[in-house]
């Protein structure tokens, strides 16, 4: 079974109102470092993005950030990571993060996090990639999204096989353990257009 070598993390450029969000981000970053899994993320040094990257680096991990030039100042492009790539657009950012990653996970965040998560989930549904997509449901944060997906299933807009594509864990440790059990399709073999 191929190894989970790199995980893309989508999360907020804000901290949110509960300390549990930052705690989960820090736990995930440290866990990825300990497990030898490279962190791929949006390249910012603010909010939960900054927390997960800092935790991974401080724990001896490798971090690759991908940030559009237009957001470099706003999201404080993180130059204290293993590698920061500056790209020309959001589309290029997401494409590059997909190319580098063996799977995707979302921590709490806002519209940008939802959009990134749902886009890679759509790519999975369409067969563009065969990489796992998951959320860490800190304090039930993603419950409304999960209810929306269940409603789409109940109303006939989503098939059961596609509803099952989104993995859910309450804690980072459970998530990584579950991802390790899956048949991973490594990033170097599958890209967005494969």
Read off the pLDDT band of 2 (50, 70, 90). Answer: low
Residue 60 lies in a domain: yes
Contact 21, 107 (CB under 8 A): yes
What rounded mean pLDDT belongs to the chain?
A: 92
In a domain, 190, yes or no: no
Q: Is 80 left (phi over 0), alpha (psi -120 to 50) or beta?
A: alpha
pLDDT band, very low/low/confident/very high, at 188 (cuts 50, 70, 90): very low
Residue 179 in tokens: 């991802």
Place of tokens 């989503």: 158
The per-residue pLDDT for 3 is: 79
- CA quadruple 76, 82, 87, 91: dihedral, nearest 10: -90
pLDDT digits (tens, 9 = 90+) for 134-175: 999 999 999 999 999 999 999 999 999 999 999 999 999 999
| Separation CA 94–CA 81 (nearest Å) | 19
pTM: 0.92
Query: Which DSSP helix (H) or strand (E) runs through 133?
Result: strand 133-136
Residue labelled with tokens 């509960």:
18
Q: How many domains does the chain have?
A: 1
What confidence category does residue 193 fall into, taking pLDDT thresholds of 50, 70 and 90?
Answer: very low
Q: Is residue 187 situated within a structural domain?
A: no
Give the residue carrying structure tokens 């999975």: 124
Which parts of 71-112 are beta strand (E)?
83-87, 103-106
Q: Residue 186 domain-assigned?
A: no
Task: Confirm whether 16 is domain-assigned.
Answer: yes
The SS3 assignment for 114 reads: helix
- On whether residue 191 sits in a domain, the answer given is no
Q: What is the CATH number of the domain that holds 60?
A: 3.40.50.450
The verdict on residue 194 lying in a domain is no
Supply the range of the domain harboring residue 30: 6-180
Is residue 193 assigned to a domain? no
What are 9-46's pLDDT values in tens digits? 999 999 999 999 999 999 999 999 999 999 999 999 99
Is the pLDDT reported for residue 194 higher than 60?
A: no
pLDDT-derived band at 74, boundaries 50, 70, 90: confident
């Amino acid at each position: 079974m191929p190894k989970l070598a790199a995980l893309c993390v989508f999360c907020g450029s804000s901290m949110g109102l509960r300390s549990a969000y930052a705690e989960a981000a820090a736990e995930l970053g440290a866990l990825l470092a300990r497990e030898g899994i490279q962190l791929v993320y949006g390249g910012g040094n603010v909010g939960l993005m900054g927390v997960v990257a800092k935790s991974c680096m401080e724990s001896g991990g490798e971090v690759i950030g991908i940030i559009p030039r237009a957001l470099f100042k706003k999201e404080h492009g993180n130059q204290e990571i293993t590698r920061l790539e500056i790209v020309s657009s959001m589309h290029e950012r997401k494409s590059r993060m997909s190319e580098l990653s063996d799977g995707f996970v979302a921590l709490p965040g806002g519209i940008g996090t939802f959009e990134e998560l749902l886009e890679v989930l759509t790519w999975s549904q369409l067969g563009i990639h065969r990489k796992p997509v998951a959320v860490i449901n800190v304090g039930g944060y993603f419950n409304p999204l999960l209810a929306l997906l269940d409603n789409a299933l109940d109303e006939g807009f989503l098939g059961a096989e596609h509803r099952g594509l989104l993995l859910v864990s309450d804690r980072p440790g459970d998530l990584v353990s579950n991802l390790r059990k899956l048949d991973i399709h490594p990033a170097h073999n599958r890209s967005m257009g494969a």
